[in-house]
Structure 1
Amino acid sequence: MRKTKLIIFDLDGTLVDAYAAITVSFNHTMRVLGYPLQPAKVIRRAVGWGDKRLLEPFINVQDLSRALRVYRQSHKIALLKKSRLFSGVPSLLKFLRRKGYALAIASNRPTHFSLILLTHLKIRDYFDYVLCADRLRHGKPHPDILKKIIRKLKVTPEEALYVGDMTIDIQTGANAGIKTVAVTTGSHGSFELTQSRPFLLLGRAAALKKLL
């Protein structure tokens, strides 16, 4: 990975553990709209595609607009109370900055909530560029999100590395021609991730320090 100049990170499940916040907001929404509450493990499996795709399978289509309003209102508060960085993330970001890497975020989470998280957890300033799916026509696994980042930061696909926690991240990297490192701190386990053939599989993002 000597040619690497840019490291792009997914957010949820990769750098940030916001599953408790998502679960609180999700079940608050179900309660308000009169739908059954869901266990945390079911909600965790549904994360990664944005909040609209998170809610859609559990409610009637005519309730989606209201559900999104309720969810997003709750989530602004829940994120501040129940989100944390995974172990080793602050030292990893400091290390990468000292080494001179450009850093970016590519997330299917809406921009507003991504910026709330990054600012609240005091890591926003590490990143040269933050791009979320609501600013694009297509979210992951479409390659647009990664292609726009590398164009913005003026690197080639071969000079970039993408880090994510789901099979959708591996697919996105493959579609963009960018090597993807998968981590097992998110919604998918090592077996599923291995089946999607990442460039590398790590237990957590902080393990990158040993490779760069």
Structure 2
Amino acid sequence: MSDLNNVKVILFDLDGTLIDSVPQLYLAVQAALKSNQLSAVSIEQVRDWIGNGADVLLKRAICQQYHFTDIDETLFQQVKSQFDHYYQMGIDRDYSLYPAVKETLSVLAQAGYSMAVVTNKPDQFVQPLLQSAGIAEFFTYTLGGGRLPVKKPDPLPLYYLCEQFKVQPTETLMVGDSKNDIQAARAAGIPVVGLSYGYNHGEPIENSEPDWVLHRFDELVSLLNAEVRN
């Protein structure tokens, strides 16, 4: 079990961790598929397919399966263009903050932690969604998919944020709901919390063996003793 006494920075995943964005992603995926005369998918499928970035989500939707096959590049780009359009149009609706997220982020900020968002969601959507949700103010940095050559589960995004904050991995905590978060943190040498209420491709987060499993976001406060930290 990792020691949290030295933690100065907390890195958060976005979808499935801070925000339940399945409904808005589902609507944008459906609109993009319909625009290209492709078969519809269910909201349950979209929930299971989230986590590896929008490109992978769309390829899964086009092929109607998690492990997708080769896709015509022209078709993919058409679907992606439509998805980007519809998702941007709906960025301020059809989502919800998970319970106690804003209140918990406020407590952690007051306790002296620096915080960032690291997500595979395309970078251009991250700040607008955080602003709409009213929690952008809590994060010193946000890092979305496409800003770096690789995404989680590669550790590079986590290393990059450690460099921005000028902290060591052992001074950092990763909080996420997916095996991608757990694997990235493990590879980076960062202690990691797995949240049980997120998406994680339909698998229990316990299977990925995070250092801690939490069932509510506000349990972070007691885990970090944030209410008594100076």
Q: TM-score per shorter chain, which class?
A: over 0.9
Is 1:204 aligned with 2:207? no
Cα drift, residue 111 of structure 1: 1.3
2-structure distance, mates of 1:72, 1:204? 31
SS at match of 1:37: coil
In the alignment, which residue of structure 2 is the partner of 1:66? Answer: 78
SS at match of 2:146: helix
Deviations 1:81-120 (A, max 9, x none): 1122111001111000110001011000011111110111
Is 1:162 aligned with 2:195? no
Aligned pair partner of 1:107 in 119, 125, 131: 119
2-structure distance, mates of 1:91, 1:209? 10
State how many pairs are aligned.
Answer: 212
In the alignment, which residue of structure 1 is the partner of 2:52? Answer: 49
Cα drift, residue 203 of structure 1: 0.9
Kept after mapping to 2: 8 A contact 1:140/1:168: yes
Is 1:8 aligned with 2:20? no
In the alignment, which residue of structure 2 is the partner of 1:92? Answer: 104
- CA 101–189 in structure 1, closer or farther in 2 if over 3 Å, else same: same
Cα drift, residue 204 of structure 1: 2.6
Deviations 1:116-166 (A, max 9, x none): 101111111111111112110111111000000011101111110000001
Cα drift, residue 56 of structure 1: 1.0
5 Å matches for 1:144-159?
144-159=156-171
> What residue identity is the alignment partner of 1:155?
V
Cα drift, residue 205 of structure 1: 2.1
Kept after mapping to 2: 8 A contact 1:20/1:83: yes
Cα drift, residue 191 of structure 1: 5.8
Kept after mapping to 1: 8 A contact 2:46/2:61: no
1-structure distance, mates of 2:176, 2:23? 19
Once the two structures are overlaid, the 10-residue window that deviates more, 150-159 or 76-85, is: 76-85
Once the two structures are overlaid, the 10-residue window that deviates more, 186-195 or 61-70, is: 186-195
In the alignment, which residue of structure 2 is the partner of 1:124? Answer: 136
Compute the TM-score of the two structures, normalised by the length of structure 1.
0.96
Unaligned 5+ runs, structure 1? none
- CA 191–76 in structure 1, closer or farther in 2 if over 3 Å, else same: closer
Unaligned 5+ runs, structure 2? 63-70, 225-230
Is 1:36 aligned with 2:48? no
Q: Percent identity?
A: 29
> What residue identity is the alignment partner of 2:152?
K
Compute the TM-score of the two structures, normalised by the length of structure 2.
0.89
1-structure distance, mates of 2:163, 2:54? 27
Kept after mapping to 2: 8 A contact 1:18/1:79: no
Kept after mapping to 2: 8 A contact 1:167/1:192: no
2-structure distance, mates of 1:115, 1:187? 21
User: CA RMSD, aligned part only?
Assistant: 1.4
